[in-house]
Structure 1
Amino acid sequence: MADESTQSIVIEAPPEEIMAVIADFAAYPEWTNAVKQTEVLSSDADGRAAQVRFILDAGVVKDEYVLAYDWADDGLAVSWTLVKGQMQKAQQGSYRLEPVPEGTKVTYTLAVSLAIPMIGMFKRKAEKMIMDTALKELKRRVEATR
């Protein structure tokens, strides 16, 4: 797997509100610019999404892929791996939530391996841009619903 990138942001909300937004895949097209469609393909015994199909359109990058999710029992983390994709060979990621005095620190970790070759410097820059956008969109969505 490729090198991981990690970024964090503090959101003024408790972890359970943030995790509820992360877990609401049907709403992603409403608040994430690049995600055009989602479909929960299967759920776990607790009713949480186990596999989700995404259709992504970020201008020059268009992809359709399926991710498998693993939800932490304490409600403070979720991780995922790529099941299948068109442009991606592999993807591993996670959100980890940590209560802090200002709300919750959300740490996003992502590693993506593309099916097409890409210079490492450009790939890391793209990952950081994706993560920065995702965290800011998550923060905006959570804080707007409070």
Structure 2
Amino acid sequence: MAEHTRSSITIDATPAEVMAVIADFAAYPAWTGEVKEIEVLETAEDGRAAEVRLLLDAGAIRDEHTLSYTWDGDREVRWTLVRSQMLRSLDGSYSLAPLAGGRTEVTYQLAVDVKIPMLGMIKRKAEKVIIDRALDGLKKRVEG
């Protein structure tokens, strides 16, 4: 597996409240920026998405891909790439840890491998931008 890029943020909400926003795929276009379309293709027994198709448009990068999701209650969600036009692999996770005062530390981890050649330093910088935008958007959505 590729090297992971990781970042964390503290959100003024419980893990259950944060995970509810993460699990609400229909709302992603409203707060993620790059996600333009989303379709839940398969749902797990617990009612959460098991496989999701996303259409991303990040300016120079436009891709449609399908991700498979695995949920561990309100503690963690992991995803892995099923298919994509531009990506060879995409593995990520949100890990939620409860903090005092009803707050949550959210750690986002991501490893992306593209089909086109790309320097490792540039790839990690892109991963960091994706993670930071996602964490900022998640914080605003949950706390807003």
> Identity of aligned pairs, percent?
57
Task: Deviation per CA, 1:21-52: give whole Å up to 9, x if none.
Answer: 00000110011110000000000111110000
> What stretches of structure 2 of length at least 5 have no aligned partner?
none
SS in 2 for 1:46: coil
AA in 2 matched with 1:81: T
Partner of 1:21: 21
Q: Partners in 2 of 1:112 and 1:90 — Cα distance? A: 6
What is the TM-score with the length of structure 1 in the denominator? 0.96
1:1-146 matches, cutoff 5 A: 1-72=1-72, 74-101=73-100, 103-144=103-144
Q: Deviation above 6 Å: which 4+ runs of structure 1?
A: none
AA in 2 matched with 1:15: P
What is the TM-score with the length of structure 2 in the denominator? 0.97
SS in 2 for 1:109: strand
Aligned residues: 143
AA in 1 matched with 2:6: T
> What stretches of structure 1 of length at least 5 have no aligned partner?
none
SS in 2 for 1:107: strand
Q: Partners in 1 of 2:47 and 2:121 — Cα distance? A: 39
Shift in Å, 1:100? 1.1
Task: Deviation per CA, 1:59-112: give whole Å up to 9, x if none.
Answer: 01111000000000x421000100001110111100000011251000000001
AA in 1 matched with 2:48: R
